[in-house]
Amino acid sequence: MLKIVTSVIARDLKLAMRRQADIVSALFFFVIVVSLFPLGIGPEVDLLRQLAPGVLWVAALLATMLSLPRLFADDYRDGTLEQLALSPHPLGLIVTGKVIAHWLVSGLPLALIAPILGIQFDLSGEALLVLTGAILLGTPALSGIGAIGAALTLGLRGGGVLLSLLVLPLYIPVLIFGAGAVDATVSGLGGEGHLSLLTAMTFAAIGFAPWASAAALKIALE
């Protein structure tokens, strides 16, 4: 089972390296969106600290969504997805590998660059550490939930808009607890509870979402 997942991860990472413009565009979008707020608000330090958790998390959420339409679309167009579905390996394990690969090229870079952007909002060192941990813990859930939406809208005309309408409401709990962890740290209350809930949601998403996505993919391929 582990060999199947790692093989899919390695394959998708190689393909992603051939399309580095997609990775760079998502990072550039994240940087630009986050950087616009300090420029627009001005040097109001207290206000920037209050807005920082929500701004950073909303930008990370939207940046993650940029690559979701291509999660299965390229394999669907060239027939690879159908071959994977016909293989003797469970499709859910294959989707698990694709979800992890998506997180490695979309969620992980966002978590690594977020502390640098957080400095613009005058966040403390502890708040930046919690921000990094929250994005690391929460973005896998975004990739898992997004995979369900990508599978449900596969092959549909205007699927990108429908994908957004499907997954954005499901992203709300991750957004609330991710931003809440940083906000609680800034307020001095501690964000351990929020981080624990984020971890639980990520494990639930990674455990459930690939199999739901696999069922949706089988319907799309029929």
Model pLDDT for residues 57-70, shown as the tens digit of each residue: 999 999 988 888 88
Instruction: Tell me the pLDDT band of 31, cut-offs 50, 70 and 90.
Output: very high
Mean pLDDT calculated for residue range 18-22: 81
pLDDT at 81: 81
Burial letters 186-209, b for 16+ CB under 10 A, else e = beeeebeebbebbbebbeebbeeb
Tokens of 104: 């490695």
- Short-list 187, 191, 188, 165, CA closest to 177: 191
Range from 29-38, 70-79, 83-92 that averages highest in pLDDT: 29-38
- The answer, yes or no, to whether residue 120 has pLDDT greater than 90, is no
Mean pLDDT calculated for residue range 100-122: 90
Model pLDDT for residues 185-221, shown as the tens digit of each residue: 877 787 788 899 999 999 998 889 999 999 988 888 7
Model pLDDT for residues 78-100, shown as the tens digit of each residue: 888 888 888 888 888 889 999 99
Model pLDDT for residues 123-168, shown as the tens digit of each residue: 888 888 999 999 999 999 999 999 998 888 887 776 777 888 888 9
The number of C-alpha atoms within 13 Å of 205 and in the hemisphere containing its C-beta is: 27
Rg of the chain on CA atoms, in Å: 18
pLDDT at 158: 67
Question: Which residues, 6+ apart, have CB-to-CB distance to 160 below 8 Å?
Answer: 69, 153
Q: How far apart are CA 96 and CA 32, in angstroms?
A: 31
SS3 158: coil
Residue whose entry in the numeric block shows the structure tokens 């979309």: 106
- The answer, yes or no, to whether residue 48 has pLDDT greater than 90, is no
pLDDT at 143: 92
pLDDT at 218: 85
